[in-house]
Structure 1
Amino acid sequence: MNFSLPDDLLALQSRVREFIAREILPMEQDPRQTAHGPRADLRQELVAKARSWGLLTPHASREMGGLGLSHVAKAVLFEEAAYSPLGPTAMNIHAPDEGNIHLMEVVATEAQKDRWLRPLVQGHIRSCFAMTEPAPGAGSDPSMLATTAVRDGDHYVINGQKWLITGAEGASFAIIMARTEDGNATMFLTDTDRPGFRLERMMDSLDTCFTGGHAVLRFENLRVPASDVLGEVGKGFRYAQVRLAPARLTHCMRWLGQARRAHDVACAYAARRESFGRKLGEHQGVGFMLADNEMDLLTTRLAIWHCAWVLDQGERGNTESSMVKVISSEGIWRVIDRSVQVLGGQGVTSEAIVDRIFRDARGFRIYDGPNEVHRMSLAKKILARGQGGAD
């Protein structure tokens, strides 16, 4: 693996950094930010800025109007974009749309791409991915999927409840995971204004960075044409793997940018604030925290780049992405937590953006599978490997 970046990628990195600094950072105090993410009109304004800079949806293929980025290139650009909590929304690289774009490019039919994917890539609409369910339905264990889809002529009738569905409020369409009569999972595309598709309520959460927040959905005899099955019937879990590793890794990329921002704010404060006759950062207790931050940021970045490189080689990267998810979510949390400590009173108020980053980032150890589940999965693979090499 070559850690040097080509000139064209360095130029693109510089462009994204300039875009975030000039266009997005000044908008971070915009009052159109709510407990459930940026309002639709704010999102549209942010997207228009990225479009004018030629930076909208860069991860999409060139055929779809994106830049066709490699996974390594995404790692570089997504970190830069997420230096502001509004950056991923502006560049249309936020969850769940980013992962849905990748999935649909691989699986969707041409008709489905024209109907849903192209306007999604163009930033005109948003989407959501509806898989997680309240107990006893699917959570960390997707095999507990309880939502059903029953064939009825040329349609499927879907019934069930989903929750923690990111981006649901204001989404134009959804990808629904439901269990078909063969007992297997199938993915369905549906407009959210169809009869039987109901947003029951919004869920209050620590984070406020996801456009459309997190919602509870209910499907009551939702009729979806068979032509709107995404991929093949019964292969939903297989397609979920297509989405899983890349989308899991892009979470890591974005949160790295947020952690770097928190660290930079803490460093600037430690360099100018005086305490007990010297700069705050000159005290070992503070200086050591900043040094530990730098090490955690480097470790996280290298782990992300390695997994991105694995994916660029055409490998599935499931094991690597599980490891990176744990490494990065815990590493960036340490960085952000130390940054709060360095800032002292400012760190626990809205006087500094680190307070917001702290609240937004806590869920990362749960999103895309709790870290404990990833460790359990890794342990099974390790033990299987050990048994294979036993005498």
Structure 2
Amino acid sequence: MTISAEVLDLADRVEAFVREVVFPHEHDPRRDAHGAPTDALVQELRDKARAAGVLTPHIRPDGSHRSQRETAVLLTRSGLTPLGSLACNTNAPDEGNMYLIAHVGSPELKARFLPQMHDGRARSAFLMTEPWEDGGAGADPSMLKTTCRRDGNHWVVNGRKCFITGFEGATIGIVMARAEEGACMFLVDLPDPAIRIKHIPNTIDSSMPGGHATLAIENLRIPADQMLGKAGEGFKYAQVRLSPARLSHCMRWLGACQRAQEIATDYACRREAFGKVLIDHEGVGFKLAENKILLQQCELMIDWCAGVLDTGDLGTVESSMTKVAVSEALMTVADNCVQVMGGTGVTGKTIVETVFREIRAFRIYDGPTEVHKWSLAKKIKRDWKTAQA
């Protein structure tokens, strides 16, 4: 599939907006206690993105989603700085939540929740992960402990959640819980007094407003018509969201590492030591060369996986492979950039240090590398057994 001239032009405008308007805000002091941009800063930038015609670029004016290959071009450009994804409304968890609602929600739920999300007026949260101390769901959603039971025209939910990205300040939530029929998903308005924030930990990453909250859910009553899809099919819907969401993370963080490479290259071409600029020292120049190779490999891997998803295939295996390959490669890229820049690389003078921290977290969320490799190994064994039969 060829990317249309219209999408390429839009991508150019997204990049120009991010570079000209968003980059100057990278050191904006409006940050919360955990270092994330405040909602005031995010809304200011979204107003500017809206005026520039680059808000939510991966959604067409009619509300439909662009293809995954088109989305890759747009999200990579918006991701040139972590703040760019927030400004353009292509950030997690909102981008994945919009995708899920569009594919699973009833017409009524789509009409109620999606317009405010597409317009960048609402932030959302995906309530799936649970505390390990309770034996709850993490990388293995089948361990889901939060319960839901039918009570007349409502469902009543009880349980605990943790690492719920963006919950504080969100106005829309997708809650995952287990019923007798199996896993279920619900759309809820936030805040709700039945969902209390117990704790927001300090984490290595700081790009997402609202932090990663630990929550207590006590007798949350949800109207039955706010269930996403059918009771018992929540795990299937989770894969509808998670496969493309893994790929979207790869797209955004590819953009961030491309920017880190730009900064490290500029530094290495200007900084002199031992009689020549740093890039002329093999130990430095080779790291930037390795980065260039890895960035190209990541771009190709993302494009390949996007093509698979665009065929209508759920792409679970392909997205797992891509998430592992890209997250590990980008970790090397970010680390090389820090190393090339020496002491400057570990300071807040540029966003290289921020990108390094964010990529380190990326290797864990939406499934750590080890879980994806374990899943792939199981498939290899199944395929072998099939071939022997």
TM-score by length of 1: 0.96
For 1:220, the equivalent position in structure 2 comes to 218
For 2:140, the equivalent position in structure 1 comes to 141
Does 2:317 correspond to 1:337? no
Does 2:355 correspond to 1:357? yes
Q: CA deviation at 1:61?
A: 4.2
Question: What CA deviation, in whole Å up to 9, does each residue of 1:225-272 have, x standing for no partner?
Answer: 111111111110111111111111000000101111111111001101
For 1:29, the equivalent position in structure 2 comes to 27
For 2:172, the equivalent position in structure 1 comes to 173
Q: CA deviation at 1:8?
A: 2.5
For 2:46, the equivalent position in structure 1 comes to 47
Where does 1:255-274 land on structure 2 (aligned, <5 Å)? 255-274=253-272
- From 97, 109, 113, the equivalent of 2:110 is 113
Question: What CA deviation, in whole Å up to 9, does each residue of 1:153-184 have, x standing for no partner?
Answer: 111111000000001010002101000123x1
Q: CA deviation at 1:353?
A: 1.4
For 2:383, the equivalent position in structure 1 comes to 385
Q: CA deviation at 1:344?
A: 0.3
Question: What CA deviation, in whole Å up to 9, does each residue of 1:56-114 have, x standing for no partner?
Answer: 112224322x7x42111111111111101100001111111100000101111122122
Asked if the contact 1:60/1:101 (under 8 Å) is kept, the reply is: no
Mapped to 1, the partners of 2:15 and 2:56 lie a distance apart of 16
Mapped to 2, the partners of 1:18 and 1:252 lie a distance apart of 21
For 1:69, the equivalent position in structure 2 comes to 66
Mapped to 2, the partners of 1:356 and 1:195 lie a distance apart of 34
What CA RMSD, in Å, does the superposition of the two structures yield over aligned residues?
Answer: 1.3
Residue ranges of structure 1 left out of the alignment (5+ in a row)? none
Mapped to 2, the partners of 1:255 and 1:335 lie a distance apart of 11
Q: CA deviation at 1:36?
A: 4.9
For the residue of structure 2 that corresponds to 1:389, the secondary structure is helix
Asked if the contact 1:164/1:214 (under 8 Å) is kept, the reply is: yes
Question: What CA deviation, in whole Å up to 9, does each residue of 1:200-233 have, x standing for no partner?
Answer: 2212101110121110111111111111111111
- Percentage of matched positions with identical amino acids: 49
Does 2:97 correspond to 1:88? no
For the residue of structure 1 that corresponds to 2:82, the secondary structure is coil
For 2:205, the equivalent position in structure 1 comes to 207
For 2:299, the equivalent position in structure 1 comes to 301
Q: CA deviation at 1:390?
A: 2.5
Asked if the contact 1:336/1:354 (under 8 Å) is kept, the reply is: yes
For the residue of structure 2 that corresponds to 1:250, the secondary structure is helix
For the residue of structure 2 that corresponds to 1:230, the secondary structure is coil
For 1:310, the equivalent position in structure 2 comes to 308
Mapped to 2, the partners of 1:193 and 1:344 lie a distance apart of 44
Mapped to 2, the partners of 1:10 and 1:114 lie a distance apart of 29
Q: CA deviation at 1:120?
A: 1.1
Q: CA deviation at 1:10?
A: 2.5
For 1:79, the equivalent position in structure 2 comes to 76
Asked if the contact 1:101/1:120 (under 8 Å) is kept, the reply is: yes
Where does 1:227-242 land on structure 2 (aligned, <5 Å)? 227-242=225-240
Q: CA deviation at 1:9?
A: 2.8
Count of aligned positions: 386
